[in-house]
Structure 1
């Protein structure tokens, strides 16, 4: 299924939107605000109004105009008006509207976007592997999930495609794709401004303007800025942290060079610079480490008390400097040429990403790890050519895609004066000598050069008027070359060797292990193919079935590998690709004169050689590293229902049931309650979980357990009622709307732990306002019932039993005013 081609035109149907309304009612499945298709950029509101009477929602997903209900793929689309009215100004907010989308982030770099629970496991940030969910903006692939933490800027719509993608264009993805479409330059002069103010000193402003520069040239400019006071108070610095401080700029120039050729030049710059991102004390969960080396004994010995043991007091005393500087930008040129019976499209782009973090990785006010940062610079270049044509009873897309990425990370980790007591065994005299680890510093240099190239094609054959077969194929080549060098020095600048040396240096290696491997390479060809069969027995019913065999590219372990007896285990530096088999059955339907829409999808996904953090008993080490687990399975059922019985009322409910497990994962890292003790004999289950002083298994078999981050049940639902009214002589309407999302319990640790399950919760949001065709004012409240829940829970280094986490936003409220012209 093409990503760029999923541009939708709002033409009514079961859409909850009303043409001309500034703010939508609710988000329903597969509906959107108008987005121009090639050759239709100048459609007027009156054109849309007339089309609306036809009760059709038109897409160009298979390079021809067709109803969205005719497209045999599960798609969730949120238009600009839904984004604005629900406050979904980034992907994190968007997940509340789409139950099959999951987003987790402890900071922009340590972020993962999953669809149906697949993409990247929690805590698996590694420059050397690809994401399983592709993020695209205006047909340009973004290789870093960090883009998902930025504010949407002058966005027209966001489309979420579920299931494997890649046989139509772009980068191969195994779980799905998020395609973000910006507003196009207009040949009619137009503009919009919006301001929002709320509690926690929340301030947001957006503005855009567009119009012609000449008869065949149009321009569009947009700006967005967001700021908010932090949600956590740091008693060490006497200020609020985990704040928001974002600004974005975007410009686009459209030149209609001829009747058959149009060129769009786009550029953007986005910057976040908040004091962020601290994870704070949540609880103590005993491990199998000796009792005198666990959190209660260690803090007592150091005379330390956490500011609060209730995380929803939102207090911390982290003492290291915090920052989450995140800068993204780039330039792209898209050309579209009508050629023969189809369209030739070229997309050329350069993107950059600068990441300047500062973290407190001991999660306390103690000087244990005083410096932890991995500043990164990335440049990426992409080039894509596609030709979409059609003939008598068939249409097709063929293309080539090239991607080159260069990453350089220069990290630092430094230990403080409390590190010896915290990290070294108290039975050693060295643990009472702060100078052993105080000032110990690792200088990391991580480099990656990553090339990916592909040829692809998709063919749609109308066997009969009601039956269509759609085979697709992709041939992909990946070439990755990377290096990881970690040099460790003590406070006097003396190198710490890989092995041997003095007892003091051996103790220093317990805290930070030096290692290096240079110019490790991963190179491989892979083949992707899929087949979709669809059957349309009537105008308003579509049945479809899909099989896809695909892969997630292999890569390199650029977070380090085990070192055994001074030998770096470079054979563990490469990671094999994931091999994916995906099956899907679906039905799309409309009824009650198309006032109601019901779409249901069932799927079954099997992944072999799943990329995960593993332990390997053959190395006789407890250090986890990135490698391949055996097999995972995710299967489920999704249903999207929307109804619009009158122009005054709309409602929707979307739900997903997801069954997920590690089918085979015999060499997983153990959960904290089974970690930290003296190593048990290989193959032994170890001692009693959660009891200090017990033996700990080197690896754990977690076959049959949950995958992290996935709830068995998830729902989103909402409704709106509006009433016509005239205010100050202007025709408009008052409206009352609400939306909510619910999810059941999920695991927040790669190996499920008794300490890190996050309980189910429901978030409810409400808004009340008045709008006309070009003006809107509304008050809103989010997390209206002040639900206390965690976005993430994490075990902290050292097996001390300290569990840290991210308390989610409390209740927020505010007022939004917007004006269009």
Structure 2
């Protein structure tokens, strides 16, 4: 779908809204019995209809998560407009919304541009602290800067994960799934009352499968998975006051023998054929197979707890206090090139451990009088993170590049604090017109201690003054230092809403977001270790239309936006040291259009489509080495993306409405992996489908499913290395069957 097609579809639809909403075309729901599902969201920190919320939100319900087998951030991103994710390892999830990309969260001081929240608790280290989706009520993807209400200030957008809550009506569900690659998944929940005022819910999920590839050197699986998660919740509702408390505790762990094979292909922008690409071709090594001489692994363990208190402290206002704690550990070990030397130019084994612990507290007072033309929110937020990271890199054999020999150790212990006060006021001028203004003051305080040491520097037998792959140090040399910096920002937001009738809401907004600064991971020298990079900021201008037409049989939401993005934190790989350097990229201009539409054709047939077009370019970007990337496309930002799908319910014989067939196809345009706009992943599409069988009044259901049915081979990360491209691939074709029983 081209830019012109997306714009034509969106603008034509908007132009037809008034006619479609006229009384002559409307019928009551009772007369027709067919309508698009109503969705309640909490992005505005109070419950509201999705169609009444004046911001661009994609809300994925429990049913849609289940039918589309959305189990993590990667499977979520494929069908959401302007949202993409790339992943080079289990601890390097790079989220992008509207071209605003979270570069690898590697250094202990780094933070993402796109925030992830679970039950309104901010997850600061996504790789080690975030596990699979399971037993959820919905997921909200909120696009654009969120600088006022969402707890932590985020510059690019937010993923808000809402877990299912305890109920006072007893119920439960159990699911067992079998699939190819020896996949076995189990999951379920049970909920119900413990007393008249206390309810509980316990949920779990396990996922296990063999590898998508094989380490042919060690004859072992790679890109396999073993994971398990459990969550327990207690809900207390006071019998005589407007007070309730929700306590949640969770635990999760996963393990894989290397998250993806590093498949070397030839870099078309470097003369000749790369050494490793030539070796793989000559030995007929498959794209998902690895050749590491050492065993590789990714392991994460996370545990957390939160306590939410809601109290109608006085008439017309509700006080909410959310306390959160999370502690996790992630460990990774891998051969940097995935192959020994020779034929590799270097043979180094890299390992690291990350231990973040987070405490957060938010307190807010929210007006609760729907009859009043005035609504308001005031609150405070504080979060503290203690992040400890330890890295080591060992050259296991002599290499062809003397500068990449030796052994180094690096440690970093960071103390990160962020505090904020915020408020928002909205006023209904008339029944049709409302204005809202909000403001947030954020202060970040980051400090810590780091140490780097070169234990030895063989340099093919002779010291060369550069320790393996990162440090410009000779054997026995080291440096150590303390660092600290403070940043602050004021981020306002303004919204105007206009509702010409019950079916249509038009809004315009201006919002700013902020992301704190930090330091480069494993700086090459002591001087480099002292240099911090600046915060990044974004200002978003947005015009949107939300509509439920033809008596809620057609839902059409459209947003047009323009974003001014300053001091982008851009990471680049420096081949000479196999290290990453972060630069502030001056400014970028991003503009685009998004749409989502759902059509309830009949009681049994539903169609949907969504899409986005982005024009995301660096307006001014000269990096620290003097390279000029001004005018280039932002990395990891496809110009277009769309998703189309359908669900058809039908019956056979006495099994009325017992069958449900669902299919969708997603496609995204080419993305560049770096600011120089050379290496890229070409456009690709994914086809998914499922068939569910559930007889009338039956407690069981059977679902046959398949994902990436055309077995598309596509990269989720890529980087250059001396004439080669190091590629990490997404999942291949998978299929299976789920058996569920509800009670």
Structure 2 SS opposite 1:374: strand
Instruction: State the match for 2:554 in structure 1.
Output: 596
Instruction: State the match for 1:449 in structure 2.
Output: 415
CA RMSD of aligned residues (A): 2.9
Instruction: State the match for 2:449 in structure 1.
Output: 483
C-alpha distance in 1 between matches for 2:67 and 2:36 = 26
> Residue 148 of structure 1: CA displacement?
8.3
C-alpha distance in 2 between matches for 1:305 and 1:64 = 58
Q: Does 1:333 align with 2:260?
A: no
Instruction: State the match for 2:108 in structure 1.
Output: 127
Instruction: State the match for 2:713 in structure 1.
Output: 788
Q: Does 1:110 align with 2:92?
A: yes
**Contact 2:427 2:435 (C-alpha < 8 Å) held by counterparts:** yes
Matches for 1:138-537 after TM superposition, within 5 Å = 138-146=119-127, 150-258=131-239, 259-285=241-267, 295-296=274-275, 305-306=279-280, 313-340=287-314, 341-366=316-341, 368-390=346-368, 392-419=372-399, 421-423=400-402, 437=405, 440-490=406-456, 504-506=463-465, 508=467, 512-514=471-473, 516-537=479-500
**Contact 1:740 1:763 (C-alpha < 8 Å) held by counterparts:** yes
C-alpha distance in 1 between matches for 2:284 and 2:617 = 32
Instruction: State the match for 1:582 in structure 2.
Output: 540
C-alpha distance in 1 between matches for 2:263 and 2:233 = 45
**Contact 2:351 2:392 (C-alpha < 8 Å) held by counterparts:** yes
> Residue 60 of structure 1: CA displacement?
5.6
Structure 1 SS opposite 2:256: coil
CA gap of 1:308–1:524, structure 2 versus 1, over 3 A, is same
Structure 1 SS opposite 2:638: coil
> Residue 418 of structure 1: CA displacement?
3.2
Name whichever structure is richer in strand by fraction: 2
Structure 1 SS opposite 2:361: strand
> Residue 444 of structure 1: CA displacement?
0.9
Structure 1 SS opposite 2:100: coil
**Contact 2:128 2:300 (C-alpha < 8 Å) held by counterparts:** no
CA gap of 1:447–1:64, structure 2 versus 1, over 3 A, is closer
**Contact 2:34 2:602 (C-alpha < 8 Å) held by counterparts:** no
> Residue 519 of structure 1: CA displacement?
1.9
Name stretches of at least 5 consecutive residues in structure 1 with no aligned partner.
Answer: 1-50, 425-435, 497-501, 669-697
> Residue 761 of structure 1: CA displacement?
0.8
**Contact 2:129 2:301 (C-alpha < 8 Å) held by counterparts:** no
C-alpha distance in 2 between matches for 1:553 and 1:510 = 28
> Residue 646 of structure 1: CA displacement?
1.2
> Residue 130 of structure 1: CA displacement?
1.8
> Residue 281 of structure 1: CA displacement?
2.6
**Contact 2:188 2:203 (C-alpha < 8 Å) held by counterparts:** yes
Query: What CA deviation, in whole Å up to 9, does each residue of 1:569-613 have, x standing for no partner?
Result: 3442x1211122111011111211210011110111111111123
Query: What CA deviation, in whole Å up to 9, does each residue of 1:407-464 have, x standing for no partner?
Result: 1111110002132x2445xxxxxxxxxxx93xx2111111100000101111111111
CA gap of 1:308–1:656, structure 2 versus 1, over 3 A, is farther
Structure 2 SS opposite 1:82: helix
Number of residue-to-residue matches in the alignment: 698
Instruction: State the match for 1:684 in structure 2.
Output: none
**Contact 2:360 2:384 (C-alpha < 8 Å) held by counterparts:** yes
> Residue 736 of structure 1: CA displacement?
1.5
> Residue 814 of structure 1: CA displacement?
0.7
Query: What CA deviation, in whole Å up to 9, does each residue of 1:7-40 have, x standing for no partner?
Result: xxxxxxxxxxxxxxxxxxxxxxxxxxxxxxxxxx
Instruction: State the match for 2:510 in structure 1.
Output: 547
**Contact 1:522 1:556 (C-alpha < 8 Å) held by counterparts:** no
CA gap of 1:627–1:61, structure 2 versus 1, over 3 A, is closer
C-alpha distance in 2 between matches for 1:652 and 1:404 = 42
C-alpha distance in 2 between matches for 1:273 and 1:621 = 29
Name stretches of at least 5 consecutive residues in structure 2 with no aligned partner.
Answer: 1-32
**Contact 1:169 1:386 (C-alpha < 8 Å) held by counterparts:** no
> Residue 90 of structure 1: CA displacement?
0.8
> Residue 758 of structure 1: CA displacement?
0.7
> Residue 260 of structure 1: CA displacement?
1.4
> Residue 561 of structure 1: CA displacement?
3.0
C-alpha distance in 2 between matches for 1:423 and 1:818 = 58
C-alpha distance in 1 between matches for 2:270 and 2:685 = 35
Pick aligned residue for 1:761 from 681, 684, 697: 684
> Residue 233 of structure 1: CA displacement?
1.4
**Contact 2:39 2:59 (C-alpha < 8 Å) held by counterparts:** no
Query: What CA deviation, in whole Å up to 9, does each residue of 1:553-572 have, x standing for no partner?
Result: 12233x13343xxx523442
Instruction: State the match for 2:649 in structure 1.
Output: 722
C-alpha distance in 2 between matches for 1:286 and 1:422 = 22
**Contact 2:491 2:512 (C-alpha < 8 Å) held by counterparts:** yes
Matches for 1:1-150 after TM superposition, within 5 Å = 57-59=39-41, 62=44, 66-121=48-103, 123=104, 125-146=106-127, 150=131
CA gap of 1:126–1:117, structure 2 versus 1, over 3 A, is farther
Instruction: State the match for 1:692 in structure 2.
Output: none
